[in-house]
Structure 1
Amino acid sequence: MHPNDLLLGAQARTGTLPVCDHYSGVEARMRKSLALQEEMTQEFGACVFDVTLDCEDGAPVGGEAEHAALVAELALGAKPGARVAVRVHPVDHPAFENDVATIAGKAGHRLVHIMLPKVETPQDVERASRALHAAGARELPLQGLIESPAAVHRAFDIAAHPRMQSLSFGLMDFVSAHGGAIPSAGMGVQGQFTHPLVVRAKLEISSACHAHGKVPSHGVVTEFKDRDAFRAAASRAANEFGYTRMWSIHPDQIRTIVEVFAPSADEIHKATQLLRAAEAAGWAPISFDGKLEDRASYRYYWQVLQRAHQTGRQLPEQAREWFARNQS
């Protein structure tokens, strides 16, 4: 049997998406982002980041309809195999209905998801889902942005909605929603990992996603010029907070996210050797490097190889064969 069927099977599991989600809303930057995605796909042999075209922050006030039309045009013009998404306006914004009708109605078949900002309740998700149905985009997944204390409280219910694919954390709006109770440092590259209320929110969102087999996506880190600080933040998001995906708001952040969220060469080697030994034993428990391993750990190491494949890492020939079988 293929590891994907044997080890994941009917298990509730966190979905798989590219580890980086890159946002841009100005026309020139949106076009550059799509061109960069194509270049890096050729370099890595896999599409290692999504491009999310932004209506919420990208559209000028009063020009929302024109911006939605531009975004639809860009999505339709993207190269085959491109992974393009769109962030629309919130469900209570006057431009929401037109965003969905224009973008999902015209280009839904070229999109990988719609990002829904300021999700407060499962009813918001349901309203967006109905709008997508009306636009003819019945299968297009939704992703949600959690940006308030009340939304954090409902994160498990929001993540449970069958249309929801991933949840992200809107740090700056979350801090602002506390009326000054969280200092501005709570939005910074260090404070967002130490202030108790922010830490609690991040962990709730991550846990809600893992509970319902959805992808937890870490949000914005604005200090894009301080590469060491950004790398440290990405590492904490991945290794301490359970996030398997992260936002980029500047092209310089993309490679760092891909590198940090990818398994190391040592992890890939161990995962390959252990899983080949398990396969030889018919996936029964084995002793490996003096430790008992069974299907629980096999599942973990198979997910290591999946992440390696997604991030364009070099895989041993023994591991490449599994992925070739999975695609055939």
Structure 2
Amino acid sequence: MSQKTPRQFFKPLAIGAPEPFRDLPVRLERMIHFVPGHNEKIRPKVPDMAKQVDVLLANLEDAIPSDAKDAARAGAVEMANMIDWQASGTGFWSRVNCINSPWFLDDVTDLVLKAGRQLDVIMLPKVEGPWDIHYADQLVAQLEAKAGLSRPILFHAILETAEGMARVEEIALASPRMQGISLGPADLAANRKMKTTRVGGGHPFYRVLEDPHADGSPRANAQQDLWHYTIARMVDACRMAGINAFYGPFGDIADLDACEQQFRNAFLLGCAGAWSLHPNQIAIAKRVFSPDPDEVRFARKILAAMPDGSGVAMIDGKMQDDATWKQAKVISDLADLVASKDPDLASAYSA
């Protein structure tokens, strides 16, 4: 048997480790804001940044030079202890180096033993199968027990290889620690041998062309989304497992319009949030991954007209039934979660 039995699935993997969550904590995670752990100029700004974002992540992996890995790890521990993250309402995460790197063991050991009480999620890059999750799961359980933690640390996997993508359902179901999965478009594109140097977004050569005209006039064409299939499959795997899907990085920091469109595509397909690599992407993620006030008002009309979700109702000329009631519930519940943290949107949703 390749998987644990249901009775064993939620048992701690080490004596003294905390009981795994049976349901994910309900948290607003519209953006995961990356901060390089080794950057001494940015690190002092963390307490102020924490007030602006839903999740702040101390990055130890890509974009951290090899000779700065130790400094990044120490910086992550320092960030963890700057404020009381559990009381702040902002999540504190860290992306460690990949499992087959020489830094992974020290990353996880230091984070759990020195910052485990403040750390919500460990982001695991380049996950290729459930075996990666199982190894990290056992290791973290042993460290949690050693540190005397009472709350389990969750895992967030990044899809960055074709094998990981092919096994995304197995990864999503690998452990009760699984919080979510993000798309890593740059590494995945390279591994798939896709012919693009862009980090996320569309490509001018990936288009559809209308049929020829009899008069030979120019044919209309439209640029397509390279990532539509990948995101949709990731979302399905995550929702099957009861965890959250996230769009990852959008690399062109200056192209805010394209960033917003990519985030919006991911939001409509079911993603809970995206990464922000620069402060100018934070506001975009807040706007995009919060439901539109008009949508919220219409959704709440449906819920009010069909309190128990049964029957049929005509609202603004549109027929509503149990399926549209469920859609409305998704929008309304997200609006409630956003309103709990964002006073301006709370006011807009109640208007």
TM-score range, shorter chain: 0.7 to 0.9
Partner of 1:116: 124
Gaps of 5+ in 1: 1-11, 41-47, 321-328
- Is 2:69 the partner of 1:64? yes
Partner of 1:323: none
Partner of 1:145: 158
Contact 1:185–1:191 at 8 Å: present in 2 too?
A: no
Structure (1 or 2) with the larger CA radius of gyration: 2
**SS at 2:250's partner residue?**
coil
Contact 2:46–2:79 at 8 Å: present in 1 too?
A: no
Please state how far the C-alpha of 1:20 moved relative to its aligned partner. Answer: 0.9
Cα offsets for 1:246-294 (capped at 9, x unmatched): 1110010011111112111111111222222323xx4432413155544
5 Å matches for 1:168-187? 168-178=182-192, 181-185=193-197, 187=199
Please state how far the C-alpha of 1:37 moved relative to its aligned partner. Answer: 2.5
Structure 1 residues 142, 125: closer, same or farther in 2, change over 3 A? Answer: same
- Is 2:70 the partner of 1:73? no
Deviates further, 289-298 or 137-146: 289-298
Partner of 1:217: 246
Instruction: Please give the alpha-carbon distance, in whole angstroms, between the structure 2 residues aligned to 1:205 and 1:283.
Output: 28
Instruction: Please give the alpha-carbon distance, in whole angstroms, between the structure 2 residues aligned to 1:196 and 1:237.
Output: 11
Aligned CA-pair RMSD? 2.9
Instruction: Please give the alpha-carbon distance, in whole angstroms, between the structure 2 residues aligned to 1:66 and 1:228.
Output: 35
Please state how far the C-alpha of 1:35 moved relative to its aligned partner. Answer: 1.3
What TM-score does the superposition give when structure 2 sets the normalisation length?
0.75
Moved over 6 A (4+): 12-15, 316-320
1:174 partner amino acid:
L
Structure 1 residues 295, 232: closer, same or farther in 2, change over 3 A? Answer: same
Higher helix share: 1
Higher relative contact order (CA 8 A, sep 6+): 1
Partner of 1:243: 271
| 2:289 equivalent among 238, 243, 261 | 261
- Is 2:173 the partner of 1:160? yes
Partner of 1:303: 330
Please state how far the C-alpha of 1:152 moved relative to its aligned partner. Answer: 0.3
* Identical residues among aligned pairs (%): 25
Structure 1 residues 293, 199: closer, same or farther in 2, change over 3 A? Answer: closer
Cα offsets for 1:169-222 (capped at 9, x unmatched): 1111111223xx421255453229957874433332222112222111101111
What TM-score does the superposition give when structure 1 sets the normalisation length?
0.80
**SS at 2:201's partner residue?**
coil
Contact 2:293–2:348 at 8 Å: present in 1 too?
A: no
Contact 2:58–2:95 at 8 Å: present in 1 too?
A: yes
Gaps of 5+ in 2: 1-22, 207-223
2:76 partner amino acid:
V
Please state how far the C-alpha of 1:30 moved relative to its aligned partner. Answer: 4.0
5 Å matches for 1:13-92? 17-25=28-36, 26-38=39-51, 40=52, 49-57=54-62, 59-79=64-84, 80-81=87-88, 82-92=90-100
Deviates further, 132-141 or 167-176: 132-141
Instruction: Please give the alpha-carbon distance, in whole angstroms, between the structure 1 residues aligned to 2:225 and 2:282.
Output: 28
**SS at 1:168's partner residue?**
strand
| 2:202 equivalent among 186, 190, 211 | 190
